[in-house]
């Protein structure tokens, strides 16, 4: 029986075996962290307000209301980790202290079984929240779940689970070397972080006794990590839920902006073909104006571009090509596909609202006969909260090149942008491009969002890093290491939302590798792992059903005994492909 879920026009329908409640205990790994953002070389503080809030893990919904009083948060705990898990020679014996949090308020030990036991009720249950890119974990992640871990915490309460949250190395207070120099960042990689998590799991198994079943949960980059924990450490991790996880690393990611265009056309969330056409006309006007000094001056004044400090007094920031690329990137981020929230009520906060403005359905206070460019200006000024648009590329590169930790890092303060940018340069790419001939609605001519521009920033920020030797092959190396769209794991669920641009590189029903062992779930009209957020009455029905289906699949997997991580031989792969074709 297929375990894949497909989202129809009116939501999601599930095709799965009936699942009885499984009274057992296991360990689940989930993500309390923040969202991946496009254009990783852009600093968080220069982003539109809604995207900025999402990146920092803050609530952006005006309907959420005041949060209930949070229970007291447990104190931080620390585990000693090897600096280099991959050094088996014993030459490098350096260690560092990694921060994590633990809450055993709902934990039910019951009877801890032996490693050989396959009986579900013999295995204790716990949740481990794996941190990722962006701001630090907050202590209440193991009590309330926060913005990105609420589903995990609710499942923990219902199942008597231990909850643990661990920070990713080089983010938050978990700083192995005390600086972000290139020499230090050599120890920042997904492989090292996976080994950290595995080491913590083994330590907690020893501390709490018995044979725990681990199921890894994560959203965005931690979703990638969740799936890879199951792939690389199947003897420790029983199953995984990898929400909105772009597991296919890709140097040039054209699919992101193409997916934004598709989201702007999706009628279920208020989009339309007319909206996409209006957006394209607006960017065509921007393109024409960028081609002349007079046009660039008008754009800077009309959109409210910040002044820059140069030796030339009163220079127009858009006279410099890198600043034009920053400017166009800023305009693309005005359209909230990744952060779309259909229940929001503020102006320009979702696809329905921005499309109503772009098509003229909502006059938005503009004079009759306003142009598409006028409407884009209106949305942009709103998105940036009345602040000027910072397009100073040189200043941004200088900030990313700073090797000092941000003030207050000991308490987890900061955005830790240099750390994530390092990982894009050395592991994943994810450089969003928008060029002629693509389905991107934001094309300008000459093309500014090019692969060459994106990768050049790696060399600018990290000094002697070779773009040709390091950056160009980074994504391919990661896909060899983890499998990309064909990971070959078992018991990993991949939920994705239809308006999430990161869907372009996630494992979805169109690319389903093994429906039985690696099922996918498409959540109609949902944005970036929307189902992991705190539940609200105003949530989309598809999101509500996704939460139920995720819990049901986890319960079903918890009833299964151990199995090998990789079962998909070439023959099995061919069989699955034939089945998918027949369906």
What pLDDT does residue 581 have?
A: 33
Report whether pLDDT(9) > 50.
no
**Which of these ranges, 121-130, 348-357, 526-535, has the smallest mean pLDDT?**
121-130
* DSSP class per residue in 426-473: IIIEEEE---TTSS-TT--SS--S-HHHHHHHHHHHSTT--IIIIITT
Within 8 A by CB and 6+ apart from 509, the residues are 4, 6, 520, 522
3-state SS of 529-545 is CHHHCCCCCCCCHHHHH
Looking at 3, 238, 528, 533, which residue is catalytic?
528
DSSP summary character for residue 94? -
Confidence (pLDDT) at 50: 82
Q: What are the Cα distances from residue 390, in Å, to 40, 48, 98, 329, 393? A: 15, 11, 35, 11, 9
Grade residue 64 by pLDDT with cuts at 50, 70 and 90: very low
> In the prediction, which pLDDT does 405 show?
94
What pLDDT does 578 receive?
37
Mean pLDDT within 111-115: 47
pLDDT category at 20 given cuts 50, 70, 90 is very low
Residue 208 has what pLDDT? 87
203 and 197 Cβ atoms separated by less than 8 Å: no
pLDDT of residue 26: 40
Looking at residue 58, its pLDDT comes to: 65
How far is it, in rounded angstroms, from Cα 176 to Cα 186?
11
Stretch 282-308: mean pLDDT, rounded? Answer: 97
Tell me, what's the pLDDT at 6?
Answer: 40
Q: What is residue 59's predicted lDDT score, i.e. its pLDDT? A: 53
The tens digit of pLDDT for each residue in 326-337 reads 999 999 999 999
pTM: 0.88
pLDDT computed for residue 570 by the predictor: 37
Reference 534, options 140, 151, 57; nearest CA is 151
CA distance 183 to 180: 8
Q: What is the pLDDT of residues 364-381, one digit of tens each?
A: 999 898 999 999 999 999
If one compares 139 and 69, the residue with the highest pLDDT of the two is 139
Using CB atoms within 10 Å of the CB of residue 342, give its burial: 0 to 12 exposed, 13 to 18 middle, 19+ buried: buried
| Helices 541-558/150-159 angle, 10° precision | 50
Which domains does the chain possess? 5-38+76-247+484-582 (3.40.50.1820), 252-471 (no CATH)
Q: Is 220 a catalytic residue?
A: yes
Mean pLDDT of 394-422: 92
Query: 23 falls in which pLDDT band (50, 70, 90)?
Result: very low
The token pair at 453 is: 């521009």
Catalytic, 235? Answer no
Are 197 and 162 a contacting pair, CB within 8 Å? Answer: no
- Token pair, residue 216, equals 């890894």
**Residues 239-248: pLDDT tens digits?**
889 999 999 9
pLDDT > 90 in the chain, percent: 58
User: What mean pLDDT do residues 95-103 have?
Assistant: 95
pLDDT at 89: 87
Question: What pLDDT does 80 receive?
Answer: 98
Of residues 113 and 46, more confidence is placed in 46
Query: Which one is catalytic: 190, 220, 244, 514?
Result: 220
Q: What is the pLDDT of residue 427?
A: 98
Write out 193-209 in H/E/C secondary structure. HHHHHHHHHHHHHHHHC
Q: Give the tens place of pLDDT for each residue, 434-465.
A: 988 899 999 999 999 899 999 999 999 998 78
Q: Which of 362, 374, 500, 555 is catalytic?
A: 500
Residues 534-561 have a mean pLDDT of 91
Catalytic residue check, 500: yes
pLDDT value at 25 more than 90: no
> What is the pLDDT, as a whole number, of residue 331?
97
> Using 50, 70 and 90 to split pLDDT, how confident is the model at 45?
confident
Whether 257 has a pLDDT exceeding 50, the answer reads: yes
SS in 3 state form for 2-23?
CCCEEEECCEEEECCCCCCCCC
555 vs 114 pLDDT, higher one: 555
Centroid of chain to Cα 552: 24
Summarised one tens digit per residue, pLDDT across range 490-537 is 999 999 999 999 999 999 998 876 777 789 999 999 999 999 888 999
In this prediction, residue 537 carries a pLDDT of 93
Mean pLDDT is lowest, of 167-171, 349-353, 538-542, 578-582, for 578-582
Residue 164 has pLDDT above 70, yes or no: yes
pLDDT score recorded for residue 18: 31
| Residue 418 pLDDT class (50, 70, 90 cuts) | very high
Q: Is the pLDDT of residue 69 over 90?
A: no
**Peptide bond before residue 446 is cis, with ω within 30 degrees of 0:** yes
């Amino acid at each position: 029986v297929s375990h894949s879920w497909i989202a129809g026009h009116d939501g999601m329908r599930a095709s799965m075996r009936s699942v009885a409640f499984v009274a057992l205990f296991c360990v689940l790994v989930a993500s309390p962290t923040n969202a991946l953002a496009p254009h990783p070389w852009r600093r968080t503080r220069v982003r539109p307000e809604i995207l900025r809030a999402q990146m920092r893990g803050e609530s952006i919904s005006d309907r959420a209301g005041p949060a209930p009083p949070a229970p007291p948060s447990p104190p931080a705990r620390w585990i000693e980790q090897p600096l280099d898990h991959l050094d088996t020679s014993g030459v490098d014996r350096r260690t560092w202290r990694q921060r994590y949090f633990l809450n055993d308020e709902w934990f039910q030990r019951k009877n801890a079984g032996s490693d050989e036991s396959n009986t579900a009720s013999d295995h204790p249950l716990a949740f481990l929240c794996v941190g990722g890119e962006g701001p630090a974990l907050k202590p209440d992640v193991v009590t309330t779940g926060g913005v990105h871990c609420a589903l995990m915490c609710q499942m923990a309460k219902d199942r008597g689970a231990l909850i643990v949250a661990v920070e990713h190395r080089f983010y938050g207070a978990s700083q192995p070397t005390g600086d972000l120099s290139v020499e230090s960042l050599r120890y920042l990689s997904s492989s090292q972080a996976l080994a950290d998590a595995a080491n913590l799991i083994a330590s907690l198994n020893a501390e709490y006794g018995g044979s725990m079943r681990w199921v890894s949960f994560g959203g965005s980059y931690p979703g990638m990590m969740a799936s890879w924990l199951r792939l690389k450490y199947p003897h420790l991790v029983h199953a995984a839920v990898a929400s909105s996880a772009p597991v296919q690393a890709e140097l040039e990611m054209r699919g992101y902006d193409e997916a934004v265009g598709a989201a702007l056309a999706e009628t279920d969330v208020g989009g339309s073909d007319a909206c996409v056409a209006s957006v394209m006309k607006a960017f065509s006007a921007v393109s024409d104006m960028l081609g002349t000094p007079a046009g660039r001056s008008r754009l800077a004044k009309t959109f409210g571009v910040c002044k820059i400090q140069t030796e030339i007094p009163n220079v127009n920031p858009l006279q410099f090509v890198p600043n034009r690329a920053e400017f166009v990137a800023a305009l693309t981020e005005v359209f909230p596909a990744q952060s779309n929230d259909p229940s929001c009520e503020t102006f320009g906060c979702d696809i329905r609202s921005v499309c109503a403005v772009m098509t003229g359905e909502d006059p938005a206070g503009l004079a009759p006969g306003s142009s598409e460019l006028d409407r884009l200006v209106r949305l942009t000024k709103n998105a940036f909260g009345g602040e000027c648009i910072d397009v100073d590329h040189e200043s941004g590169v200088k900030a990313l090149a700073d090797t000092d930790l941000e003030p207050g890092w000991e308490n987890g303060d900061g955005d830790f942008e240099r750390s994530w940018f390092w990982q894009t340069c050395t592991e994943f790419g994810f450089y969003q491009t928008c060029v002629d001939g693509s389905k991107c609605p934001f094309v300008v001519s000459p093309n500014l969002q090019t692969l060459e521009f994106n990768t050049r920033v790696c060399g600018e920020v990290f000094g002697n890093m070779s773009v040709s030797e390091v950056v160009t092959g980074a994504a391919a190396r990661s896909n060899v290491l983890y499998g990309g769209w064909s990971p070959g794991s078992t018991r990993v669920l991949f939920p994705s939302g239809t308006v999430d641009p990161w869907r372009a590189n996630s494992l979805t029903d169109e690319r389903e590798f093994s429906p039985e062992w690696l099922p996918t779930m498409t959540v109609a009209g949902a944005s970036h792992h929307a189902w992991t957020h705190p539940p609200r009455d105003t949530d989309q029905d598809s999101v509500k059903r996704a939460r139920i289906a995720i819990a049901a699949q986890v319960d079903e997997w918890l009833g299964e005994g151990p199995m090998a991580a990789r079962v998909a031989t070439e023959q099995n792969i061919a069989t699955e492909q034939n089945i998918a074709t027949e369906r």
